Amino acid sequence: MGVVIGFALVLLTLAAGTAIGVRANKNVRAFNDEEHEIFVGRDDK
Amino acid sequence: MKNKDQQLLEDRKHLNRYGYAQELLRDMGGFSNFAISFSIISILTGAVSLYGHGLLYGGPGMMGFGWTIVAFFVLLIAASLSELASAIPTAGALYHWAASLKGTRIGWYTAWINLIGQIGIVAGIDYSVALFADPLLAGIFHYSSTDTTTLIVFGAVLLLHGILNHVGIKIVAKLNDFSAWYHMIVVAILVVSLAFFTKNGLQPIDYLFKVGQTFSDKPYFLAFLIGLLQAQWTFTGYDASAHTIEETVHPRVRAPWGIFNSVAFSFVFGFIMLSFVTLSIHDASGAVNSDNAFIYVISHALGGTFGNVVLWLVTFAMFFCGLSSITSFSRMMYAFSRDNGMPLSRHWAEISRKYRTPAKAIWLSVILSFVLALIDYITKLINPDVGYSTIAFLTAVSVVGLYVAYGIPIYLKLRAEAKGIFLPKHYGPWSLGKWSKPINIISLIWIVFICIIMVIPPNQMAAYALGGMFILLLIMDFGYYKKNFKGPQAALEKSIDEIRRLEDEFEREND
């Protein structure tokens, strides 16, 4: 039982990592610098 | 597709918009940026030097479950930090993000907490090098390894790291690239050797996920949580990709990938390595009672000679890890000092005209790390019966310091989004879209949880040390910095002519 749960956890971690990577890559490709604005923030101490 | 010169120009202009000149040499590619974080995570440092700790508290199940659970949450934290690195690509990283998202004071505290964690990580890594190297050198030069000789070796390693970092990012980047390959090759050698040449054969796979067995006097659940320090300490320092962002070409894409991929690849390679090492254990209680559980297991599985070879291989991996840590630490200190966040900031923000490195910040990193280990050494001289190990103390300090510093900007980003201050147009190219918020929230929950776990007994000394440092920060803040620290916003007042003049000076010196 421990082995099944263990490998399920490993697969879940790999799947989560892959999904995040794929999503980020999609956004990198779709990025348009024209629509981007740099964030310098503000100081509300 | 832009060529390198066009990209460098664009990167420089982007940095100028934050009010900073391109002082550091921007020469690192994507692989080098990944390699610096991969080298600091260094599965051959954290997972190996704390292998005995993990096995003692969590038994073999710590390697199967503990490593994977921690990696899952750290991937989410890395993704959260990657987004911020892409949005605000400056070397101050955590500090600059926090200051921009909320204000200069919270930025100031973030910087200091980050620095405290960095001191702990550099000291912890180089102390690990000394712990491994000192007995090896003692065998060669026929002396007895003691706490004093370990401290001397530790000082020598720090010194060497200081020199290499001082003379330039080019050589450090090359060594980092080599280090990344080195880690992968050593893991491959280890795995193949254990798979085919283990004397007594490998345990059945169930052994890797065997829970309920602890060699400590604590109940298993609590012991398992304490044992997580092994994996959690290994997965630290990947903010290095953000601290070297001003030295990376095309940083808004490459640095976030560096952060994220270094964690992902470390998980995979670390899991494979830990699996084979753990499956080759035939005497777990002998391993936890030995001086070094990892070497004990390897020596018993493959013979003493191979164990000795592995010792040397691991020691070199740790050496590379310490080298990268000082690079990251010094860049953080440089970035914070150029905004006048530290006493004598003018010095730490100074860039060597010859080498284009923050030379004085490098040497301060070396000194502070040595002092932290020296304090621990003196404490143990005065009271030899203290119930903790130096390495557990240093690693707990670094885990809590770094993860609190990781958590602050993640929380502040969520807050700034909720208040409508940080908008979708502010995200950089590397972003998570709708996934961002849930990933940030889960990351924060894990950070709070892990920080509590890391300071409960037997690591309470780390809590006292961090508490003491925090009181010192409060005194510094209320005594001086509350009124005088202007944060990264002050740099925005610099004119573009002033920035260009500074950049021209560096260009002329280098021609």
A34–B contact, CB cutoff 8 A: no
Cα–Cα separations (whole angstroms), residue B104 to B53, B340, B348? 39, 11, 19
CB contact under 8 A, B256 and A6: no
The CA distance from B33 to B19, in Å, is 23
The domain that contains B135 carries what CATH number? Answer: 1.20.1740.10
Rounded Cα–Cα distance for residues B294 and B393 (Å)? 20
pTM of the model: 0.92
Q: State the ipTM, two decimals.
A: 0.95
Q: Note the pLDDT of residue A42.
A: 63
Task: Identify the weakest region by mean pLDDT among B271-285, B299-313, B351-365, B423-437.
Answer: B299-313
Where does the pLDDT of residue B4 fall: very low under 50, low under 70, confident under 90, or very high at 90 and above? confident
β-strand partners of B248: B28
Average pLDDT for B189-196 = 92
Q: Find, in chain A, the residue whose alpha carbon is nearest to that of B434.
A: A23
Contact in structure between B35 and B321 (CB atoms under 8 Å): no
Chain A with chain B: Cβ pairs closer than 8 A:
108
Structure tokens at B361: 């910040």
Residue B454 forms part of a structural domain: yes
Chain B residues whose beta carbon lies within 8 Å of the beta carbon of residue A21: 260-261, 264
Burial of B469 (0-12, 13-18, 19+ CB in 10 A): middle
Token pair, residue A31, equals 């990025």
B6 burial level (CB within 10 Å; 0-12, 13-18, 19+): exposed
Q: Report pLDDT digits (tens) over A1-45.
A: 889 999 999 999 999 999 999 999 999 999 998 889 999 886 554
- In this predicted model, what pLDDT tens digit does every residue of B114-145 receive, in sequence order? 998 888 888 888 988 998 899 889 988 999 98
- pLDDT for res B382: 84
Q: Residue A2's closest chain B neighbor by CA?
A: B209
Q: Which residues of A touch B264 (CB under 8 A)?
A: 17, 21
Whole-number pLDDT of residue B471: 92
pLDDT of residue B392: 73
Residues of chain B positioned with their CB less than 8 A from the CB of A43: 99, 103-104, 487, 489
CA distance B146 to B166: 30
Is residue B108 pLDDT above 90, yes or no? Answer: yes
* Residue % of chain B over a pLDDT of 70: 98
Radius of gyration of chain B (CA): 22
**Chain B interface includes A16 (CB < 8 A):** yes
* pLDDT interval class at B316 (50, 70, 90): very high
Confidence tier at B378 by pLDDT (50, 70, 90): confident
What integer pLDDT is reported at residue B183 of this predicted model? Answer: 93
Summary mean pLDDT of chain B: 90
* Closest CA–CA distance from residue A21 to any residue of chain B (Å): 8
Residues from chain B that touch A42, judged by Cβ atoms under 8 A, are 103, 421, 489
**According to the model, what pLDDT value does residue B403 have?**
93
Per the structure, the count of domains in chain B is 1
For B337, the enclosing helix (H) or strand (E) is helix B304-337
Q: What is the largest CA-CA distance in chain A?
A: 54
Set of chain B residues whose Cβ sits within 8 Å of the Cβ of A12: 72
Q: How confident is the model at residue B268 (pLDDT cuts 50, 70, 90)?
A: very high
Peptide bond into B256 cis (omega under 30): no
Is B353 part of any domain? yes
Is B492 contained in some domain?
Answer: no
pLDDT of B210 over the 90 cut: yes
Q: Does B256 have pLDDT greater than 70? A: yes
pLDDT score at B69: 97
Report the residue from A24, A35, A43 with minimal CB separation from B104: A43
Residue (of B354, B358, B160) closest to B244 by Cα position: B358
Instruction: Name B387's Cβ contacts closer than 8 Å, sequence gap at least 6.
Output: B458
- Answer left, alpha or beta for residue B212, where phi above 0 means left and psi between -120 and 50 means alpha: left
pLDDT tens digits for B19-45? 999 988 898 899 999 999 999 999 998
On whether the CB atoms of residues B259 and B242 are closer than 8 A, the answer is yes
Q: Lowest-confidence range among A36-45, B248-257, B272-281, B424-433? A: A36-45
Of B33-37, B54-58, B356-360, give the lowest mean pLDDT range.
B356-360
Tokens 């090359």 belong to: B174
pLDDT 10s digits, B147-185: 899 999 999 999 999 999 998 778 888 898 999 999 999
DSSP B383-444: -TT-SS-HHHHHHHHHHHHHHHHHHHHHHHHHHHHHTTSS-GGG--SS--GGGHHHHHHHHH
Confidence of residue B510 (pLDDT cuts 50, 70, 90): low
Please check whether residue B113 lies inside any domain of the structure.
yes
Q: CA–CA separation, B308 vs B133, rounded Å?
A: 11
User: pLDDT-based confidence at B291, cuts 50/70/90?
Assistant: confident
How many CA atoms within 13 Å lie on the side-chain side of B195?
10
Cα gap B324→B316, rounded to integer Å: 13
Give the CA dihedral B443, B445, B451, B453, nearest 10 degrees.
-120
With bands split at pLDDT 50, 70 and 90, how would you rate the model's confidence at B449?
Answer: very high
Q: According to the model, what pLDDT value does residue A8 have? A: 97
Residue B489 has pLDDT above 80, yes or no: no
* In-domain check, residue B413: yes
Q: What is the pLDDT of residue B117?
A: 87
User: By percentage, how much of chain B surpasses pLDDT 90?
Assistant: 62
Residue corresponding to tokens 């956890």: A9
Q: Range of B220's domain?
A: 27-482
Determine the residue among B266, B272, B426, B439 to mutate to test chain A binding: the one whose Cβ has the most chain A Cβ atoms within 10 Å: B426
Number of other CB atoms surrounding residue B492 within 10 Å: 14
pLDDT category, B306, cuts 50, 70, 90? Answer: confident
* Any domain includes B258: yes
Residue B439 has pLDDT above 90, yes or no: yes
For chain B, say whether A5 makes contact (Cβ under 8 Å). Answer: yes
Using the 8-state DSSP alphabet, how is residue B248 labeled?
B
Q: Is B496 inside any structural domain? A: no
User: Does B19 fall in a domain?
Assistant: no
- Look up residue B446 and give its amino acid: W
At residue B361 the predicted structure's pLDDT band, cuts being 50, 70 and 90, is very high
Tokens representing residue B367 in the block: 């000194």
- Rounded CA-CA distance B183/B284 in Å is 26
Check if the beta carbon of residue B298 is closer than 8 Å to that of residue B307.
Answer: yes
Q: How confident is the model at residue B84, as a pLDDT? A: 97
